[in-house]
Amino acid sequence: MTVLHISAVKSWGGGENHIENLCFELAQSNPEVTNIVLCVKDELFHQRLSKTNIIAETAPLSINMDLRFVLKIIKLNRKYKPDVIHLHDPSAIVLAIVADKFAGLPPFVFSKKTSFPIKNKKLTLYKYNYSKIKKYLCVSEETKRITEESIIDKDKLITIYHGTNIGTKNSQTPFLLRDKFGIDPSTKIIGIIGNHIRAKNFETLIETVNIIVNLQKRTDFIFIQIGSHTDRTEDLLQSVKSLNLEKNLLFLGYMPSASNFIPQFDALLLTSQSEGIPQVIYESFYHEVPVISTNVGGIPEIIQDGINGLLAPKQSPQILSEKIEYLFNNENMIANFVAISKENLLKYYTTSIMAQKTLQEYKTILNGKY
């Protein structure tokens, strides 16, 4: 079987990590499956793939509908003759549809990785209901629930949790956070990993830190955020400066293998207002670091408040600040939280499980050809 994965994303995040993990797992467990990834030339995902054994093809994408990318899809279809095309983002759907009009592509699979509702617009609904899409692989039950509101053939939707690759976990980092920033051993490091995009809602992060530092006068916490800067970053930094939080909330920017820093965190914090299920939660489960998060998307499917982590409503900095203080005022809970989370991870949320379920969907689409 040959699968062509198409990503039109220019950054690096959980979605791209999912593609990488899927290809790694299938190469190990099912070497008869050939995976090719088409990604945007010279962007972060391309740079990452160039350091792996994954077959990576590239094309420029300077505008959303760049015909050079469409032509590359057609060329790769002729070159590799894929049995299935796996689309990994909404832009990839559009590019593949245009290519299909000219070249007659094989069946599509689409991974729905966010819980954003599909807009009720004619062209958008046409795109998502395109006849060549035979399966929608949803990252969570909540993502599936939201997606099926806009999909005509609801039998095509299935939930496959992405999970994490337990075989590639590493704690090596270019520096130690406590050493580099002179953090006292008694100070708790609250880590945040995510790109500076609207869904992550770092405005709530800043408000949460402000409550803890400026209102509660806590000096025993430091917040360290890792992730790619965007056009939102300047406003975020300005907010941090205006609240005199520059020593309390550090934005480190993009760092390769950011999850390797998780073992240095005392807790992971997510302030998202929209999610599928962030990969970083699974990674924290593995590294036995407690998670405090908003209860958006599929997160409540893998974290039960007070059982294996702490949850708060979105856009609720006051409650998030209370959850942080509660966790470290009751540190005896942490061992139980992380034990339950790791047990669940190994049982349900590994990339090997994800890869086998995905492969089964490919086979279903191909009607027993493989």
**Is residue 134 a contact partner of residue 156, using CB atoms and an 8 Å limit?**
yes
pTM: 0.87
- Residue 362: partners with Cβ closer than 8 Å, 6 or more residues away: 1, 3, 83, 84, 109, 370
What CATH homologous superfamily does 2-163+350-365 map to? Answer: Glycogen Phosphorylase B; (3.40.50.2000)
Task: Give the whole-angstrom CA distance, residue 50 versus residue 117.
Answer: 33
- In the sheet that 221-226 helps form, which strands lie side by side, from edge to edge? 249-251, 221-226, 188-193, 267-270, 291-294, 310-312
What token pair was written down for 252? 């480190």
Query: For position 41, what pLDDT does the model report?
Result: 96
Cα 85 to Cα 13, 24, 33, 54, 362, distances in angstroms? 21, 17, 13, 16, 10
User: Quick one: which of 270, 265, 209, 206 has its CA closest to 233?
Assistant: 206
- Domain ranges in the chain are 2-163+350-365, 177-348
Give me the residues paired with residue 84 across strands.
Answer: 3
Query: For position 11, what pLDDT does the model report?
Result: 84
- E-strand stretches of the chain: 2-6, 34-40, 55-59, 84-87, 108-112, 133-138, 157-159, 188-193, 221-226, 249-251, 267-270, 291-294, 310-312
Query: For position 369, what pLDDT does the model report?
Result: 65
Phi and psi torsions of 164, nearest 5°: -135, 155
3 state DSSP class of 52: coil
Task: Give the whole-angstrom CA distance, residue 257 versus residue 239.
Answer: 27
The CATH number of domain 177-348, selected from 3.40.50.2000, 3.30.1280.10, 3.20.20.80, 3.40.50.850: 3.40.50.2000
With b meaning 16 or more CB within 10 Å and e meaning fewer, what string describes 288-319? bbbbbbbbbbbbbebbeeeebbbbbebbbbee
Query: For position 114, what pLDDT does the model report?
Result: 87
Task: Give the whole-angstrom CA distance, residue 15 versus residue 87.
Answer: 11
Query: For position 31, what pLDDT does the model report?
Result: 97
- E-strand stretches of 71-177: 84-87, 108-112, 133-138, 157-159
Mapping DSSP onto H, E and C, the string for 226-247 reads ECCCCCCHHHHHHHHHHCCCCC
**Is residue 125 a contact partner of residue 110, using CB atoms and an 8 Å limit?**
no
Task: Give the whole-angstrom CA distance, residue 313 versus residue 266.
Answer: 22
- Residue 194: partners with Cβ closer than 8 Å, 6 or more residues away: 13, 200, 202, 225, 227, 270, 272, 278, 280
Cα 260 to Cα 61, 66, 191, 288, distances in angstroms? 30, 35, 12, 13
> What's the average pLDDT block by block, 10 residues per block, for the chain (370 residues)?
96 88 96 97 93 96 94 98 98 98 97 92 97 97 96 97 89 96 97 96 98 96 96 97 98 93 98 93 97 96 98 98 97 97 96 96 84
**Is residue 235 a contact partner of residue 200, using CB atoms and an 8 Å limit?**
no
| Domain 2-163+350-365 and domain 177-348 have a common topology | yes
